[in-house]
Amino acid sequence: MHIEQLKLTNYRNYDALALKFSPKINVFIGENAQGKTNVMESIYVLAMAKSHRTTNDKELIRWDSDYGKIEGAVQKRQGILPIELTITKKGKKGKINHIEQSRLSHYIGQMNVVMFAPEDLNVVKGSPQIRRRFIDMEIGQISPVYLHDLLTFQKILKQRNHYLKMNQGKTMTDTVMYEVYNEQYIHAATQIIRKRFQFMDLLQEWAEPIHGGISQEKEKLLINYRTVVGIEKHHTSSEIENFLHKKLVEAKEREFDRGVTLVGPHRDDLQFLVNGYDVQTYGSQGQQRTTALSLKLAEIELIKQETNETPILLLDDVLSELDDYRQSHLLNTIQGEVQTFVTTTSVDGIHHETMEHAQLFHVKQGAIEES
């Protein structure tokens, strides 16, 4: 899979921009705050219908405009697929092959991307919320069903939290409504937990040998999906439901005291172990970066396995964050197979034959020149 053309209208600092890309490697060179990351972000948004940099979609629209639009021509195995995302202050609409989709969950997954940016190091060393977002974004690319289940879960969680907040500190006499919310919540949460365990098994399968290769077989990576209530991957759906019900009963008093749901997948986390040690707590900066790089390279292989298409790789100002050895390993892995986009302030420090055949775009004050 690769994107042949990109067209931006009223996106960030671009009023109108049209670019054609190499199916191999495309490098955007320029000083900071010139607009190169905006192009990279637009490709990500075109694929995922959300930004990796902001949760406020209004920021994506050029400041003096009512809407922003991203259009792409994606080369897939079956041919060229036009996709389009329009962003307004009221929401987003996606089109596949010029046909508007009733839900964004139907739109996402038409173009698969793997983003690696400096903030992705936070997947390893940052908060549990960042790791949950990582899981949800990646599963969503390969499973529209998961996106639907996740939206259902989030809706029920919001309703349950509202109910708890409305009754915060009160003595409950009528528990019928409470049981109704619990039943809906437990079913939705079970779907999410099961799918996450399945995904982490696949990610482990690819990430472990990749990490071993980068570390010259000196390190072994283990990824654990940890639920706040101690559910394990071997548990069946009915066992998970029973487990959640038991934990909700135990947490009932605390939940009504605090007015919020304390049990469920919205509080779960990932743990990365290198040679048995938690890399977030005890790992060196090098080990944390190797773990993050292993995850990204594993994502490429996993998406390829699940969709039969090679995803597009976006390297946003990340090569400078990697030492020469990890940089070479990354470029060797993608060489000739994965369409790659790179942003950098200079190519002088990147010594690799892949870069000799790159298509270069020079970015200055929102203007892009190809060379």
Which residues have CB under 8 Å from 153's CB, separation 6+?
185, 188, 189, 191, 192, 265, 266
Q: Which of 174-181's residues contact partners 24+ apart within 8 Å by CB, and which partners?
A: 181/156
Coil/strand/helix, residue 339: coil
Binding-site annotation, residues for ATP: 30-37
The Cα 348–Cα 346 span in angstroms is 5
Provide the annotated binding site.
30-37
Sheet harboring 79-88: ordered strands across? Answer: 14-20, 2-11, 67-76, 79-88, 91-96, 99-100
In whole angstroms, what is the distance from residue 14 CA to residue 368 CA? 10
Distance between CA atoms of residues 255 and 262, nearest Å: 6
How many whole angstroms separate alpha carbon 58 and alpha carbon 91?
A: 9
Burial class (CB in 10 A: 0-12, 13-18, 19+), 89: exposed
